[in-house]
Amino acid sequence: MSSAEAPLVIDGHADILLDVYSRRRKGATHVLRDRHLQRLRAGGVSAVVMAVFLEPFRLETAVRDTLLTLDDLHEEIAESPDDFVLATSAAHLEPEYRQGRIALVPAIEGGEAVGEDLGVLRMFYRLGVRSFGLTWFRRTLIGDGTGVGDAGGGLTPFGRKVVAELNRLRMVVDVSHLNERGFWDVLEHSTAPVIASHSNARALVDNPRNLTDDQIRALASVGGVMGLNAWHEFVAPSNASLGDLVDHLDHIVAIAGIEYVALGLDLLDYLHDYADEPVLRGLADASKIPALAEEMARRGYDDAAIRAVLGENLRRVWTNVLG
């Protein structure tokens, strides 16, 4: 890549807040600075979508736990204002706003915390949430996750109201964990571009978390993007490598075009529960993101294509949706 200007690098899905939440409950502070900043800087990361994922999930405390996690994010930014900044619009990705800081975009992974109250969704928006994953693996009042599979339904009537409210609020609709029937319902009802923040190509790895070729084409037809996921199970049957991940990129580009691929790396190297899981060879953590650009260049992608995948495609969607 040209070194004249550093590329915009956006990781469209990270579970870093799981680490932050667990450590702050034990009295830690400055978790982002002390445990994550070095790898993010080494990887040239400009912005990270910080997913709020509740583990363990308890329905009776879901709203409270989500609020506490969002509060942790705000507190971490306040503790390290020279390193991190809250981003709630596409303009907040610009260098003059970031001033060398890494932009953090709050997101929800799994809509269970909303319950059946759109007012809760609106409050999350007011706290900075700008991307909303409708489900995780489970069945919710919004729809069914990929864990339910073909046996599940699509969006519920309430789920259609949620999509309409997300469109009205100008929040990004994320379908990565939604089952296939729900995916098609969202594309029918959403009036804005839709993303699959961390999903790969099912033609290469037959996992319900990955998208079929028809889904990839449909996502592109509404101006959305899908984020390449580095979790090994979605990349290759065994011994997954960076090259295997770029194979997914090649396939998506052949199906839909370079404009519709982004990053949603779903790296979990920093979580104790995943310490024994295989990591993607060549892309074990965020510091190795430049290796992805190098592999793309080796395969003949030009500077513009590499920049598009690293961040410009997702910036385009955010500009269209968030403003």
d(CA 217, CA 214): 5
**Digits of tens for pLDDT over the chain (323 positions)?**
544 689 999 999 999 999 999 999 999 999 999 999 999 999 999 999 999 998 878 878 899 999 999 999 999 999 999 999 999 999 999 999 999 999 999 999 998 889 899 999 999 999 999 999 999 877 889 998 887 767 678 899 999 999 999 999 999 999 999 999 999 999 999 999 999 999 999 999 999 999 999 999 999 999 999 999 999 999 999 999 999 999 999 999 999 999 999 999 999 999 988 878 899 999 999 999 999 999 999 999 999 999 999 999 999 999 999 98
Residue 55 confidence (pLDDT): 83
> How big is the chain, counted in residues?
323
SS3 40: helix
Residues 6+ apart with CB under 8 A from 86: 73, 74, 77, 92, 103, 104, 106, 128
d(CA 310, CA 295): 13
Omega before residue 56 within 30° of 0, cis: yes
d(CA 44, CA 34): 17
pTM: 0.96
d(CA 39, CA 19): 15
Residue 4 confidence (pLDDT): 64
Q: Which residues of 235-270 are buried (b: 16+ CB within 10 A; e: fewer)?
A: bbeeebbbbbbbbbbbbbbebbebbbbbbbbbbbbb
Residue 232 confidence (pLDDT): 96
Phi, psi at 317, each rounded to 5°? -65, -45
Place of tokens 């204002």: 81
Residue 94 confidence (pLDDT): 96
Residue 286 confidence (pLDDT): 98
d(CA 141, CA 120): 14
Helices vs. strands in the chain: H and E counts, helices first:
13, 9
C-beta of residue 182 within 8 angstroms of C-beta of residue 134: yes
SS3 content of the chain, % helix, strand, coil (to 5): 50, 15, 40
Where are the chain's structural domains? 10-321
The CATH code belonging to domain 10-321 is 3.20.20.140
C-beta of residue 92 within 8 angstroms of C-beta of residue 98: yes
Phi, psi at 169, each rounded to 5°? -75, -15
